[in-house]
């Protein structure tokens, strides 16, 4: 299942002594025990006048529906806010509504992609899932948000990077998918992180140099020593807490983690391609979605990726995309080759 909080982090919290976070420990254990089943375009017109001419431009509209599980572990829940409806005053409902809209706008503005499947504006989410549920996930049809336990996790709808990450899994699936285990699973997680970071930057109008590159900033309470779940800029530094432990993500292939847990380390080893993307984006500068993001996106939707793609295969594919779009000796192609060499996925670009 595609969930924002890795199972190893919840397991660490579930095994912690209950004295410090009695509610959070119980919530983590309950969250791990909950089974999760996997399961026409709207447009708006903009009218303007250019001299004597009436100019009509059209762009797709989202079609959002936010439902409320009312603290039950049942989906989809009771409809709470539909597209165009006024804010409800329920923070989770309204944050989910805004986050889905911001992600839809990002996909269209950056890649001219209409929603998750490239054809439809339909976006669904359910909030208030379970009691003190410590996660948010994409179930193949909708976003699902728990409220967090209030001691360690403060809630998940407040983070646009979380929302866009999980919706990113829908884009990945629609593009053909990447097997959710081993290196292909880590690529799946990494590309979703890229979407999460870029949607957040797009919403805030940030350049690559100004962005934090954090995934999940704001979902921890002040009791946690950490800023987010993951950092694309510096994998392995997002948190270092006496209860949750230290962020285990590597940023180089020499530190690749061999494990049977976490579907073969999909949330852990994603730090390596995450760092590669960050290096490309900061080398090129400007808005990261315009060139670096475009290369990653076009590679994903090219139809040439194997569902079992390795890091090296994805690196080669992004390099081919950069050459095709910008030229063999372009700044973009050099940045891509250099980044993948810098994280040890390919040989040193200078020796080629």
Please give the pLDDT value at position 35: 65
pLDDT confidence of 31, banded at 50, 70, 90? confident
pLDDT tens, residue by residue, 150-169? 999 999 999 999 999 999 99
Q: From the centroid of its chain, how far is CA 206?
A: 17
Name the residue among 267, 119, 70, 298 with its Cα closest to residue 186.
267
Could you tell me the pLDDT band of residue 6, with boundaries at 50, 70 and 90? Answer: confident
In whole angstroms, give the CA distance from residue 292 to residue 189: 17
Residue pointed to by tokens 């572990």: 73
**Which tokens in the block code for residue 236?**
């392995």
Beta-strand relationship, 136-138 and 143-145: antiparallel
Range with the poorest average pLDDT among 67-71, 80-84, 139-143, 265-269: 139-143
Q: Is the pLDDT of residue 40 over 90?
A: no
Report the distance separating Cα 198 and Cα 189, nearest Å. Answer: 14
The C-alpha atoms of residue 307 and residue 317 are separated, in whole angstroms, by: 13
| Region label for 145, one of left (φ > 0), alpha (ψ between -120 and 50) or beta (otherwise) | beta
Q: What is the model's pTM?
A: 0.88
Closest CA to 298 of 213, 211, 182, 171: 171
Strands 63-68 and 122-127, by their bridges, are parallel
Q: Which residues contact 261 (CB under 8 A, 6 or more apart)?
A: 7, 8
| Sequence-distant (≥ 6) Cβ neighbours of residue 72 within 8 angstroms | 129, 130
- Clarify whether 166 is annotated catalytic: yes
Strand partners, 239: 226
Q: Which entry of 95, 166, 189, 332 is annotated as an active-site residue?
A: 166
- pLDDT band for position 305 (50/70/90)? very high
Cis peptide before 76 (omega within 30 of 0): yes
Report yes or no: 78 and 136 within 8 Å, Cβ to Cβ.
no
Q: Which of 151, 267, 278, 332 is catalytic?
A: 267
Task: Give the lowest-confidence range in 54-58, 123-127, 262-266.
Answer: 54-58
Q: What percent of the chain has pLDDT over 70?
A: 91
Query: What are the b/e assignments for 277-290, b being 16+ CB within 10 Å?
Result: bbbbbbbbeebbbb
Active site residue 267: yes
- SS3 state at 188: helix
Residues 230, 248 contacting (CB under 8 angstroms): no
pLDDT-based confidence at residue 36 (cuts at 50, 70, 90): low
pLDDT value, residue 57: 47
Other CB atoms within 10 Å distance of the CB of residue 334: 18
φ, ψ at 281 (rounded to 5°): -60, -45
Sign (positive or negative) of CA dihedral 173, 166, 140, 98:
negative
Architecture of domain 2-351 in this structure: Orthogonal Bundle (1.10)
- How many residues does the structure list for the chain? 352
Q: Are the CB atoms for 23 and 134 separated by under 8 Å?
A: no
User: What is 270-324 written as a DSSP string?
Assistant: THHHHHHHHHHHHHH-S-TTTTHHHHHHHHHTTS---TT--HHHHHHHHHHHHHH
Considering only CA atoms, which of 116, 229, 216, 87 is closest in space to residue 163? 216
Write out pLDDT tens, residues 247-281.
999 999 999 999 999 999 999 999 999 999 999 99
């Amino acid at each position: 299942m595609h969930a924002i909080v890795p199972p190893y982090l919840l397991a660490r919290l579930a095994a912690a002594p209950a004295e410090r976070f009695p509610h959070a420990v119980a919530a983590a254990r309950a969250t791990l025990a909950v089974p999760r089943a996997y399961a026409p375009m709207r447009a708006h017109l903009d009218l303007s006048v250019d001299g004597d001419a009436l100019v009509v431009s059209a762009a797709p509209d989202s079609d959002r529906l936010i439902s409320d599980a009312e603290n039950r572990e049942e989906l989809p829940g009771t409809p709470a806010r539909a597209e165009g409806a006024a804010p409800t005053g329920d923070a989770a409902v309204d944050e989910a509504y805004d986050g889905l809209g911001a992600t839809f706008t990002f996909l269209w503005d950056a890649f001219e992609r209409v929603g998750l499947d490239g054809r439809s504006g339909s976006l669904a989410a359910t909030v208030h899932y379970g009691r003190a549920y410590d996660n948010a996930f994409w179930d193949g049809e909708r976003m699902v948000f728990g409220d967090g336990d209030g001691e360690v996790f403060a809630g998940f709808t407040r983070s646009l990077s979380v929302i866009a990450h999980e919706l990113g899994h829908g884009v990945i699936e629609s593009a053909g998918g990447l097997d959710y285990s081993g290196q292909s699973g880590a690529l799946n997680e990494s590309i979703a992180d890229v979407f999460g970071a870029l949607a957040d930057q797009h919403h805030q109008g940030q350049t690559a140099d100004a962005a934090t590159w954090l995934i999940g900033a704001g979902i921890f309470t002040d009791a946690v020593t950490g800023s987010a779940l993951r950092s694309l800029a510096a994998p392995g530094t997002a948190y270092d807490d006496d209860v949750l432990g230290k962020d285990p993500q590597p940023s180089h292939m020499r530190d690749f983690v061999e494990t049977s847990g976490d579907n073969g380390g999909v949330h852990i080893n994603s730090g390596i391609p995450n760092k590669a993307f960050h290096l490309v984006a900061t080398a090129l500068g400007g808005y990261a979605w315009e060139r670096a993001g475009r290369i990653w996106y076009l590679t994903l939707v090219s139809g040439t990726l194997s569902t079992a793609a390795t890091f090296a295969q994805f690196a080669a594919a992004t390099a081919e995309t950069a050459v095709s779009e910008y030229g063999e000796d372009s700044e973009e192609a050099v940045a891509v080759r250099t980044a993948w060499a810098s994280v040890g996925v390919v040989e040193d670009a200078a020796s080629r």
